[in-house]
Amino acid sequence: MKKLLYTVTALFGALLIAGCSSTQSLQEYYVDNSENPNFISLDLPTSILNLEEADLDETQRKALQSLRKLNMLAFKKTMANAEEYVAEKAKVNAILKNKDYKELMKLNSEYGKGVIKYLGEDDAIDEVVIYGSSDDKGFALIRVLGDDMNPAYIMQLMKAIQKSDYDEDALGDIGKFLKG
């Protein structure tokens, strides 16, 4: 009887542990840090980018139509929060290493290093994540949410954003990151 009780308890414990994922999702990370004073958090409609007025080609217009909104989260590094920056950057890197995120491209510029990843199928992307970091300034995460976005349009969309006439000052440091 003790063996049966031990076996059932061990099996229940194993199921409980397997059912609880220790990896935080990107959405949970956004929610957990939206009130943290070291972070800047913005939820924006795509209309803020003023892409409707930009000179877009047909491919860029299709890319724009598949967008719903942008979620932005940026950690501004200071001397006082340098240790927290390292810890938060490690958390983001761990989340983005999830096999569900497929890498689209790596970024390397004067502002820092980054990566563009996506969730969804190759022909129907639901979320694009743009992550950039600089050990001097901090990091920014931008989630582009949409419906069945086509990966072939992502680069076209990035070009369209650079052509757009959005108010860089209204977005602060995140705006500079996008224009970069």
* CA-based nearest residue to 85, from 94, 95, 76: 76
Tell me, yes or no, whether 118 lies in a domain.
yes
Tell me, yes or no, whether 7 lies in a domain.
no
Tell me, yes or no, whether 157 lies in a domain.
yes
Q: What separation, in Å, do the N-terminal and C-terminal C-alpha atoms of the chain show?
A: 68
82 lies in which domain range?
24-179
For each of the chain's 180 residues, which pLDDT tens digit applies?
A: 555 444 444 444 444 444 444 568 999 999 999 999 999 998 877 666 666 656 777 777 777 777 778 889 999 999 999 999 999 999 999 999 999 999 988 988 887 899 999 988 877 788 889 999 999 999 999 898 887 777 666 666 666 666 666 555 555 555 554 444
Tell me, yes or no, whether 98 lies in a domain.
yes
Say what the pTM is: 0.72
Tell me, yes or no, whether 142 lies in a domain.
yes
Tally the domains of the chain.
1
Alpha-carbon separation of residue 60 from 13, 153, 157 (angstroms): 51, 7, 6
Tell me, yes or no, whether 5 lies in a domain.
no
Tell me, yes or no, whether 10 lies in a domain.
no
Specify the 3-state DSSP secondary structure of 118: strand
- Chain centroid to Cα 129, Å, comes to 4
Spatial contact of 69 and 43, defined as CB atoms under 8 Å apart: yes
* CA-based nearest residue to 139, from 97, 69, 68, 87: 87
Tell me, yes or no, whether 109 lies in a domain.
yes
